[in-house]
C-alpha cells in the first residue's frame, strides 16, 4: 500500500503501512472526505463510504459534480480521520491531537452492474447500520438510478497515528501547569422516534447494533 504519494514525511514515526491497521481504521468510521479536481477547480467533499475487501465503496448522487469527475477517471484522494484526544502541553507549540487517520489515492470506477451495485448498497447500508438491509425496503428503480457508487482500490493507502502524552521541552516541566490528554469519546445517544411514524413501533435491531458499533470510549 505504500507509495511515493502515501509515504509519511512529517513525523515519519507516526506513519503506518500495515494493511490490517489501515482496514481497522477504515472499518471504525463511515464518513470520508473525497478530494478531486472538478470542473471549477479542486474540491473536497464529505461522503459516506464502506470498505469492501481491498477497496472502498464511495456513495453519492448521480447529479454530484464531484462524483461525475471521479467517474470520468480523474485521480481522487480519500481521507478518513478520528480524533481520540486533545493533548494539552505546557507550551502552546507542543499542544497536539491524538488521532487515527488514513489517506488513499487512486482512480475510482463507477459500479454499473446491477447485481454488483445492489451488493455494494447492501455493504454500505450494513456497515453503518448492521443488518439494516434485511429490515428495510429495497431501492426502487428511481432511487437506484439516482444513487451513484464508486469503487476505489486500496492500492495506495497509508495510516498516520498519534498516541500518547505531550512532548514538552525539558525546561517546561518545571512550569506549574497541568498537562496531559483530554480523551474525546464518541457515544451513540438514545434513538429518537420519527414523529411521522406509527406510535409504539419498536426500535429495530440494526439501530441497537449501530449504537454499540459506533460508541467509542
Average pLDDT on 32-47 reads 84
More confident residue, 68 or 123: 123
Residue 63: is its pLDDT beyond 80? no
Which tens digits make up the pLDDT trace of 91-126?
999 999 999 999 999 999 999 999 999 999 999 999
Lowest mean pLDDT of 21-30, 60-69, 110-119, 161-170, name the range: 60-69
Comparison of pLDDT for 62 and 184, the residue scoring more: 184
Calpha distance 159→177 (Å, rounded): 32
**Measured between alpha carbons, how far is 112 from 115 in angstroms, rounded to an integer?**
9
CA angle, residues 131, 193, 213, in degrees to nearest 5:
35
- Which residues are CB-contacts of 112 (< 8 A; sequence separation ≥ 6)? none
Global pTM?
Answer: 0.91
- From first CA to last CA, the distance across the chain in angstroms is 29
Q: Where are the domains of the chain?
A: 12-83+97-168
Work out the burial of residue 150: count CB atoms within 10 Å of its CB; fewer than 13 is exposed, 13-18 middle, 19 or more buried. buried
Mean pLDDT of the chain: 92
Which band of pLDDT confidence, cut at 50, 70 and 90, is reported for residue 1?
A: low
pLDDT for the residue 7: 72
pLDDT at 67 over 80: no
The three-class DSSP label of residue 126 is helix
- Closest to 59 in 3D by CA, of 136, 194, 128, 151: 151
pLDDT at residue 187 greater than cutoff 70: yes
- For domain 12-83+97-168, the question of CATH label 2.30.110.10 is answered with yes
For residues 157-171, average pLDDT:
95
pLDDT for res 6: 66
- Nearest of 116, 115, 135, 140 to residue 125 by alpha carbon: 135
pLDDT of residue 39: 66
Amino acid at each position: 500500500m505504500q507509495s511515493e504519494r502515501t509515504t509519511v514525511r512529517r513525523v515519519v514515526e507516526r506513519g503506518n503501512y500495515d494493511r490490517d491497521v489501515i482496514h481497522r481504521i477504515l472499518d471504525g468510521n463511515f464518513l470520508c472526505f473525497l478530494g478531486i479536481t472538478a470542473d471549477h477547480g479542486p474540491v473536497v467533499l464529505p461522503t459516506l463510504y464502506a470498505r469492501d475487501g481491498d477497496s472502498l465503496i464511495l456513495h453519492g448522487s448521480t447529479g454530484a459534480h464531484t462524483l461525475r469527475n471521479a467517474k470520468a477517471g480523474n485521480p481522487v484522494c480519500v481521507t478518513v480521520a478520528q480524533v481520540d484526544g486533545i493533548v494539552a502541553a505546557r507550551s502552546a507549540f507542543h499542544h497536539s491531537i491524538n488521532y487515527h487517520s488514513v489517506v488513499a489515492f487512486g482512480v475510482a470506477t463507477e459500479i454499473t452492474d446491477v447485481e454488483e451495485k445492489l451488493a455494494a448498497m447492501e455493504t454500505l447500508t450494513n456497515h453503518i447500520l448492521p443488518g439494516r438491509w434485511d429490515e428495510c425496503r429495497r431501492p426502487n428503480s428511481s432511487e437506484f438510478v439516482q444513487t451513484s457508487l464508486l469503487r476505489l482500490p486500496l492500492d495506495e493507502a497509508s495510516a498516520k497515528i498519534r498516541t500518547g502524552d505531550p512532548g514538552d521541552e525539558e525546561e517546561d516541566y518545571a512550569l506549574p501547569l497541568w498537562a496531559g490528554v483530554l480523551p474525546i469519546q464518541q457515544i451513540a445517544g438514545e434513538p429518537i422516534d420519527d414523529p411521522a411514524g406509527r406510535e409504539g413501533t419498536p426500535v429495530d435491531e440494526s439501530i441497537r447494533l449501530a449504537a454499540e458499533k459506533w460508541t467509542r470510549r
